Amino acid sequence: MNGIQIMGTGAAVPSRIMTNFDWAKIVDTNDEWIQSRSGIAQRYFCENESNTDLAIQAAKQALERSEVDKEDIGLVIVATFTPDCATPSMACLVHEALGLPQHAVAFDLNAACSGFLYAMNTAGAILAQGGKPYALVVGSEKISGKINWQDRSSCILFGDGAGAAVIRLNLEEQFVGKWGSVGNKEALYCPYEGEEAYLHMDGQLIFKQAVRMMTEYATETLAAADLKLEDLRYVVCHQANKRIIQSVMRHLDGKEEQFYMNIQKYGNTSAASIPIALNELWEEKKVAHGEKILCVSFGAGFTFSAMLITF
Ligand code: UT7
């Protein structure tokens, strides 16, 4: 399969900002603890918005900016672990809202925080079969509806949001990346029903696993591409905790300015975190056309992925 190139990006967040000071009125916590342990200062929470509203807004923006004709879109994937309903898929509702043609297939994908990179990989494989040249890939979450509002060790970490990209295969490059999974129910678990239908999390277990696996996947991806970290201006890691990203950076011998960080504004938005970051890089003109970015993720499941993408 060829490499993946981004044609346009978009992002959306709900209007309500929930600061650490707001959380301190609800659970026994404080701004200093949250910032020093996670890097998070605020996150966005839905009030009237649905997850699908956010996905549609981000997807519309990505499509407009890509200047791609709707008729040339062959595929829509929404990565989410917090869909608004069991059916229809959020991808089908994005398809409808954007007025996409019938030949564009639409489905959701759940790989938790690795969802966006799993969706990029899946979209690339489908585009490689031929047919229409472009895919719309969205990562969108409404995690505020899934947290335990009394558990200070997990509730303060998460936020709602969406990011999207219109992609095509870059015929001048080979795809370089890796994805994998390991089954584990203890680290992060969110049942659908019952009195405990919220996120249950073993933070320290996830922390260690995340650092180890993101380091491994990033190292192997760079080696497969015959690149050194210093050849890249930016690495975009899943934004789960500032200290996780810094630890991966130290293991890879990287520099602070290479490891893009926006967790302070959004918290952990799961599948949305990487596309929101990619959209910021694009909006702030921090990436040039043709530039490669290394994206790295880990998620509940466990799921892991790393890949090089080109702007
Ligand atoms: O996408 C995957 C999603 N999940 C993650 O990425 C989670 C990864 N893990 C983490 O980010 C970190 O483990 C946390 C931020 C969740 C916790 O940080 P930590 O440095 O591992 O703290 P800890 O769990 O070891 O807790 C240290 C202390 C405990 O008190 P004692 O037992 O030392 O008295 C906790 O009860 O901090 C306490 N604590 C808090 N204090 C104030 C836990 N949560 C809070 C809080 N505010 N919100």
Q: How many CB atoms lie within 10 A of CB 226?
A: 8
- Boundary of a domain, candidates 124, 158, 173: 173
Q: Are residues 38 and 185 in the same domain?
A: no
Do both 201 and 84 map to the same domain?
no
Task: Report whether residue 240 contacts ligand 1, using a CB cutoff of 6 Å.
Answer: yes
Peptide bond before 88: cis, by omega within 30 degrees of 0?
yes
111 lines ligand 1 (CB under 6 A): no
Q: Are residues 130 and 271 in the same domain?
A: no
Q: What pLDDT, on the 0 to 100 scale, is given for residue 254?
A: 96
> Do 114 and 228 share a domain, yes or no?
no
Give the count of beta carbons closer than 10 Å to the beta carbon of residue 139.
36
Query: Domain check: are 197 and 148 in the same one?
Result: no
Considering the domain architecture, whether residues 218 and 74 belong to the same structural domain is answered as no
**Domain C-terminal end among 120, 145, 173:** 173
Find out whether the beta carbon of 269 lies less than 6 Å from any atom of ligand 1: no
DSSP assignment string, 211-237: HHHHHHHHHHHHHHTT--GGG-S-EEE
The CA-atom distances, in angstroms, between 29 and each of 111, 154, 200 are 30, 11, 18
DSSP conformational letter for 157? T
Residue type, 311: F
Instruction: Please indicate, yes or no, whether residues 218 and 290 belong to a single structural domain of this protein.
Output: yes
Catalytic residue (one of 113, 190, 237, 295) = 113
Pocket perturbation via mutation, ligand 1, pick of 22, 35, 149, 153 by most ligand atoms within 8 A of CB: 153
Q: What is the CA(154)–ligand 1 centre distance, in A?
A: 7
Report CA dihedral (14, 20, 25, 27) to the nearest 10 degrees: 100
Looking up tokens 């047919």 gives 131
Q: Do 199 and 281 belong to one domain?
A: yes
Tokens of 290: 């043709």
Are 146 and 123 contained in the same domain?
yes
- Among 188, 186, 237, 242, which Cα is nearest to 213's? 237
Domain interval for residue 256: 174-310
Say how many residues make up the chain. Answer: 311
- The verdict on 168 and 180 lying in the same domain is no
Global pTM? 0.97
Cβ(29) – ligand 1 distance below 6 Å: yes
Would you say the CB of residue 100 lies under 6 angstroms from ligand 1?
no
How, if at all, do strands 200-201 and 188-189 pair?
antiparallel
Domain boundary among 173, 198, 219: 173
For residue 121, indicate whether it is catalytic: no
Whether 114 and 10 map to the same domain: the answer is yes
- Which pLDDT score, from 0 to 100, does residue 76 have? 98
Residue whose pair of structure tokens reads 């990565």 in the numeric block: 79
| Mutation choice for ligand 1 from 27, 31, 36, 37, CB with most ligand atoms inside 8 A | 37
Quote the number of domains for the chain.
Answer: 2
Q: What backbone torsions phi and psi does residue 168 show, to the nearest 5 degrees?
A: -145, 170
Residue 39: the pLDDT is 98
Residues 167 and 186 both lie in one domain: no
Instruction: Measure Cα distances from 93 to 96, 100, 132, 161, 266 in Å.
Output: 5, 10, 20, 17, 25
In the residue annotation, 170 being an active-site residue is answered as no
Q: Check residue 48 and give its pLDDT.
A: 94
In order along its 311 residues, the chain shows pLDDT tens digits of 899 999 999 999 999 999 999 999 999 999 999 999 999 999 999 999 999 999 999 999 999 999 999 999 999 999 999 999 999 999 999 999 999 999 999 999 999 999 999 999 999 999 999 999 999 999 999 999 999 999 999 999 999 999 999 999 998 899 999 999 999 998 999 999 998 999 999 999 999 999 999 999 999 999 999 999 999 999 999 999 999 999 999 999 999 999 999 999 999 999 999 999 999 999 999 999 999 999 999 999 999 999 999 99
Longest dimension (CA), the chain: 55
Q: What is the CATH number of the domain that holds 297?
A: 3.40.47.10
Q: Is the CB of 271 under 6 A from ligand 1?
A: no
